[in-house]
Amino acid sequence: MASQIEPNIVADKSVIEGLDYWRTLPIKQQPQWPNAEAVKSASERLASYPPLVFAGEVDTLRDRLAQAAQGKAFLLQGGDCAETFAGATADKIRNRIKTVLQMAVVLTYAAEMPVIKMGRMAGQFAKPRSSDTETRGDITLPAYRGDIVNGYDFTPESREANPERLVQGYNTAVSTLNLIRAFTTGGFADLREVHRWNQGFAKNPANAQYEALANEIDRAIKFMAACGADFDALKTTEFFVSHEALLMDYERPMTRIDSRTGTPYNTSAHFVWIGERTRELDGAHVDFLSRVRNPIGVKLGPTTDVDTVKQLIEKLDPNREPGRLTFITRMGAGKIREALPPLLEAVKASDANPLWITDPMHGNGITTPNGYKSRRFDDVVDEVKGFFEAHRAVGTFPGGVHVELTGDDVTECLGGSEQIDENDLATRYESLCDPRLNHMQSLELSFLIAEELKKS
Ligand SMILES: O=C[C@H](O)[C@H](O)COP(=O)(O)O
Ligand SMILES: C=C(OP(=O)(O)O)C(=O)O
Ligand SMILES: [Mn+2]
């Protein structure tokens, strides 16, 4: 990130050394690379490539998240469970952005407050798995760990971890982010285009409800324009990218020293989070992310206790910096109403002010009798409701949602007004890992969240 025209403040030696301290700690969910030299070579190349995001953008996001933590903004974070290299096409990326923009409009209108838009995009390539291996029939192979590690095809060649994929991951993230920037700053995301974001999607109840809302917004904009309002600010929209910081051979080389401040930023995304499976207090991931300046998230499952939350705050946000820390709860619809309030109470009584958002996906996984990983739309909605209820009861702010979604008409989650059932799953199941809400289910969810926001 060094620039010739900006001051070039170098980092302390201890700061640079600290970025590799994780190597001495226990670490989970990393691939078994077959060839250490090849990993070293790929990591060195990554370290020499330009950053994907700038430190200044990361700082802006931290400010936005600080607003949300204070109850003055709402975070909408969404995208694939596992982005794929083949899925990084213009159509698919555009549909996902359109879906997030539509959901954001619905939420902004209801909440009457800014909605921070963030994709699980441009880097969501590495997956933690429940098992290191997958068995089909009498063959057992390494589990698929995301396109940045190995291939999905069930052959020994494809399932072997391949370090060249680290570089391909970077290149795919670059082209995805380039398109995101073009869509969100090149006129397409202009609020006056609110109808256009609905075009190309099938006619269905959620789209019709959206269309009615878009008409209202249109009329309001035209009214304000007739009154002389200047809408230049509506031409572009901020859109941030995020992914799970899981694969250290990608995250470490993408972390650079900011020449303005001499401090480390993970330049592979604006926001990164630590998953439920890798958030041990003394583990590699918590240590590494404690040292970068990005706003960071931590997933919290249903067994999380108060002490763990307090220690995570101590490690990851010792200075209680506004916007620094987001807790992404993923408790499950049946558990959130009991598991979340004690955590909220304890943090409320402390000097910390993290942002709390809900991931209503990962606590609600099921496997259908016909063998698909799925989730029921009703469970997703119920967890969101439980999240709002818990915050209302404790008097804290329900600051956002984190969803696995796509802009395409896939059939991966059950229910919604299209009433997708188990037999429909085979029609269009494309996810290589967890099931995503399709375009219509996503939009429908946003209307339901809007109702909850109005109540809050
Ligand atoms: O996205 C989250 C995890 O990677 C995923 O839920 C793990 O799935 P598995 O239980 O099939 O490994
Ligand atoms: C792995 C994920 O979630 P969790 O860590 O909550 O299981 C994910 O968000 O895809
Ligand atoms: Mn997932």
SS (H, E, C) the chain: CCCCCCCCCCCCHHHHHHCCHHHHCCCCCCCCCCCHHHHHHHHHHHHHCCCCCCHHHHHHHHHHHHHHHCCCCEEEEEECCCCCCCCCCHHHHHHHHHHHHHHHHHHHHHHCCCEEEEEECCCCCCCCCCCCEEEECCEEEECCCCCCCCCCCCCHHHHCCCCHHHHHHHHHHHHHHHHHHHHHHCCCCCHHHCCHHHCCCCCCHHHHHHHHHHHHHHHHHHHHHHCCCCCHHHCCCCCEEEEECCCHHHHCCCEEECCCCCCEEECCCCEEEECHHHCCCCCHHHHHHHCCCCCEEEEECCCCCHHHHHHHHHHHCCCCCCCCEEEEECCCCCCHHHHHHHHHHHHHCCCCCCEEEECCCCCCCEECCCCCEECEHHHHHHHHHHHHHHHHHHCCCCCEEEEEECCCCCCCCEECCCCECHHHHHCCCCCCCCCCECHHHHHHHHHHHHHHHHHC
**Which residues does residue 329 pair with via DSSP β-bridges, in sequence order?**
300, 358
In a domain, 95, yes or no: yes
Ligand 1 mean position to 377 CA, how many Å?
A: 18
* Ligand 1 lined by 126 (C-beta under 6 Å): no
In a domain, 1, yes or no: no
Could you tell me which of 251, 269, 272 has the C-alpha nearest to residue 148? 251
Ligand 2 mean position to 121 CA, how many Å?
A: 14
- Report the nearest atom of ligand 2 relative to the CA of 301: 6
* Ligand 1 lined by 324 (C-beta under 6 Å): no
Domain limits at 293? Answer: 13-189+236-455
- Report the nearest atom of ligand 2 relative to the CA of 276: 5
Residue nearest to atom 12 of ligand 1 (CA): 129
Looking at per-residue confidence, does 201 or 71 come out higher?
71
pTM over 0.90, yes/no: yes
Cα gap 314→311, rounded to integer Å: 5
- pLDDT tens, position by position, 264-316: 999 999 999 999 999 999 999 999 999 999 999 999 999 999 999 999 999 99
- pLDDT tens, position by position, 154-166: 999 999 999 999 9
pLDDT-derived band at 416, boundaries 50, 70, 90: very high
pLDDT number for residue 316: 98
At residue 54, what is the residue type?
Answer: F
Supply angle C-alpha 47, 50, 56, rounded to 5.
Answer: 110
- pLDDT tens, position by position, 85-120: 999 999 999 999 999 999 999 999 999 999 999 999
Could you tell me which of 240, 238, 198, 242 has the C-alpha nearest to residue 217? 198
Name all residues whose Cβ lies below 6 A of ligand 2.
Answer: 81, 128, 244, 275-277, 299, 330, 359, 362
Choose which residue among 129, 148, 429 to substitute to test ligand 1 binding: the one with the highest number of ligand atoms within 8 A of its C-beta.
Answer: 129
Cα gap 454→456, rounded to integer Å: 5
- Report the nearest atom of ligand 1 relative to the CA of 127: 4
ipTM of this complex prediction, to 2 decimal places: 0.98
Cα gap 272→269, rounded to integer Å: 7
Cα gap 72→382, rounded to integer Å: 24
Cα gap 6→317, rounded to integer Å: 28
**Which residues does residue 244 pair with via DSSP β-bridges, in sequence order?**
273
Of the listed ligands, the closest to the CA of 130 is 1
Token output for 216:
């209202």
Cα gap 321→263, rounded to integer Å: 15
Q: How many CB atoms lie within 10 A of CB 289?
A: 24
In a domain, 126, yes or no: yes
pLDDT-derived band at 5, boundaries 50, 70, 90: low
Token output for 449:
């969240």
How many domains does the structure of the chain reveal? 1
- Report the nearest atom of ligand 2 relative to the CA of 434: 10
* Ligand 1 lined by 433 (C-beta under 6 Å): yes
- Report the nearest atom of ligand 1 relative to the CA of 82: 1
Ligand 3 mean position to 70 CA, how many Å?
A: 28
Pairing of strands 139-142, 133-136: antiparallel
Mean pLDDT confidence for 351-359: 98
- pLDDT tens, position by position, 239-261: 999 999 999 999 999 999 999 99
- Report the nearest atom of ligand 2 relative to the CA of 433: 10
Ligand 2 mean position to 273 CA, how many Å?
A: 9
- Report the nearest atom of ligand 2 relative to the CA of 299: 6
Cα R_g (the chain), whole angstroms: 21
Could you tell me which of 87, 140, 85, 192 has the C-alpha nearest to residue 436? 87
Mean pLDDT confidence for 21-29: 98
Choose which residue among 141, 330, 433, 436 to substitute to test ligand 1 binding: the one with the highest number of ligand atoms within 8 A of its C-beta.
Answer: 433
Ligand 2 mean position to 275 CA, how many Å?
A: 5
Could you tell me which of 188, 165, 164, 170 has the C-alpha nearest to residue 93? 188
Share of the chain above pLDDT 90, in %: 93
Residue nearest to atom 7 of ligand 1 (CA): 129
Residue nearest to atom 8 of ligand 1 (CA): 129
Mean pLDDT confidence for 412-441: 97
Mean pLDDT confidence for 40-63: 98
* Ligand 1 lined by 81 (C-beta under 6 Å): yes
In a domain, 225, yes or no: no
The values of phi and psi at residue 366, to 5°, are -135, 160
Of the listed ligands, the closest to the CA of 127 is 1
Residue nearest to atom 8 of ligand 2 (CA): 81
Cα gap 424→418, rounded to integer Å: 10
- Report the nearest atom of ligand 2 relative to the CA of 82: 10
**Spacing of C-alpha 149 from chain mean position:** 19
> Taking a C-beta distance cutoff of 8 angstroms, is the pair 31, 149 a contact?
yes
Cα gap 202→213, rounded to integer Å: 17
Mean pLDDT confidence for 434-446: 97
Cα gap 30→145, rounded to integer Å: 9
Of the listed ligands, the closest to the CA of 300 is 2
Ligand 1 mean position to 81 CA, how many Å?
A: 9
Q: Is pLDDT of 4 > 60?
A: no
> Taking a C-beta distance cutoff of 8 angstroms, is the pair 411, 429 a contact?
yes
In a domain, 209, yes or no: no
* Ligand 1 lined by 277 (C-beta under 6 Å): no
In a domain, 7, yes or no: no
Cα gap 9→452, rounded to integer Å: 46
Residue nearest to atom 2 of ligand 2 (CA): 275
In a domain, 179, yes or no: yes
**What is the CATH number for 366?**
3.20.20.70
- pLDDT tens, position by position, 369-414: 999 999 999 999 999 999 999 999 999 999 999 999 999 999 999 9
What's the mean pLDDT when you consider all of the chain? 96
* Ligand 1 lined by 128 (C-beta under 6 Å): yes
Question: Helices 439-455 and 377-394 meet at what angle, rounded to 10?
Answer: 20
Residue nearest to atom 10 of ligand 2 (CA): 81
Q: Is pLDDT of 1 > 60?
A: no
In a domain, 227, yes or no: no
